[in-house]
Amino acid sequence: MVKQVATFAVKKGLAQMLKGGVIMDVVTAEHARIAEEAGACAVMALERVPADIRADGGVARMSDPELILQIMDTVSIPVMAKCRIGHFVEAQILDSLGIDYIDESEVLTPADEAHHIYKHNFRAPFVCGCRNLGEALRRIGEGAAMIRTKGEAGTGDVVEAVRHARTVLGEIRRLQNMPEEEVMAFAKEIGAPYELVLETRSLGRMPVVNFAAGGIATPADAALMMQLGVDGVFVGSGIFKSGDPARRAAAIVKATTHYNDPKILAEVSRNLGEPMVGRNVSSMPEADRLAGRGW
């Protein structure tokens, strides 16, 4: 076999190396250094964390390549960056920088209200958000090599991440328990490619790595998502919007590894200072919710 680059196996493989880890949102090179020092397995480079994107309003776009390059130069761990849903030129720009993962993200303002990016054509792998199995498998069909729950970014409220993880994992359990003649109708019902539905059924899990994201703010939140059955966690606003980011970041890393050990979880949860100020998703107007973006 001759040398091949940018194959789906190596794209998906990097996400497998991130499993059991914490991916942290950072807005400066200094944040990135703090995140790496705390044990992050990757960082997401962006100009504003989701909580600030919410507060500022307006159109949220891809970050300045200069900022992304500075962060890539600062840390040895993988660096991810976000582009808008459907904005394949932003993705081309990120790809040209040599970014390690592109997040086609609902946190930014969508550029296309019908279509996502055709992701197979890029050298860099993509991660995409989902609320349910159908959405996840559509993204994988387009070429996503990693999936995350959408949750509700920038709120510090974990309820939507729990809802989305339970929905995805519950649908997989249902798929595994149905007789095979019902699988085609199930694929139609959830709007997912039939071959990927079959693959998910035989694996008993999604064919790519599945992280939790959107509202995780404490070590207990991270461990909750891990116990529900995700492969790792993204923490966005939860770290650098808290009182003591370095300490909280290290605690969330430990909680993600020792998610099944309540004594360690109690230990790492002590004296973390103020968590980010949360915002209840249940009392939030529909127009303020980001998770509905994506098709």
Partner 1 sequence: MKIGVLALQGDFHEHQVMLQGLGAEVVQVRLPRHLDGLNGLIIPGGESTTIGKLAVAYDLMQPLRQFGREYAIWGTCAGAIFLSKDAMRPQPLLELMDIRVERNAFGRQVDSFEIGLNVPALAAANGENPPFHALFIRAPLIERVFPPAEVLASLEDGRIVAARQGKLLATSFHPELTGDTRFHRYFMEMAE
Residues that bind partner 1 (CB under 8 A): 1-7, 9-10, 13-14, 16-21, 36, 38-42, 72, 76-78, 95, 98-101, 123-125, 253-254, 256-258, 261
Out of 3, 11, 12, 82, the active site residue is 82
Report the nearest approach of partner 1 to the CB of residue 18 (Å). Answer: 7
Which own/partner pairs from 98-102 qualify as long-range (CB within 8 Å, at least 24 positions apart)?
98/72, 98/124, 99/68, 99/72, 99/124, 100/14, 100/42, 100/124, 100/125, 101/14, 101/15, 101/42, 101/125, 101/126, 101/127, 101/146, 102/126, 102/127
Cβ closer to partner 1: 33 or 48?
33
- Contact between 146 and 129 under an 8 Å Cβ cutoff? The reply is no
Cβ closer to partner 1: 145 or 192?
145
CB within 8 Å of 187: residues ≥ 6 apart: 193, 194, 197
241 labelled catalytic = no
Distances (CA, A) of 8 to 39, 140, 208, 248: 27, 11, 10, 34
Report the nearest approach of partner 1 to the CB of residue 185 (Å). Answer: 31
- Contact between 223 and 163 under an 8 Å Cβ cutoff? The reply is no
The structure tokens listed for 219 are: 């070590």
Report the nearest approach of partner 1 to the CB of residue 37 (Å). Answer: 8
Report the nearest approach of partner 1 to the CB of residue 217 (Å). Answer: 20
Distances (CA, A) of 282 to 38, 168, 293: 32, 21, 17
Half-sphere exposure of 135 (CA within 13 A, CB side): 22
Cβ closer to partner 1: 21 or 134?
21
Cβ closer to partner 1: 145 or 213?
145
Cβ closer to partner 1: 36 or 171?
36
Residue 232 has a CB neighbour count (10 Å cut-off) of 24
Cβ closer to partner 1: 14 or 159?
14
- Contact between 117 and 139 under an 8 Å Cβ cutoff? The reply is no
Q: Return the residue matching tokens 């076999």.
A: 1
Catalytic residue annotation: 82
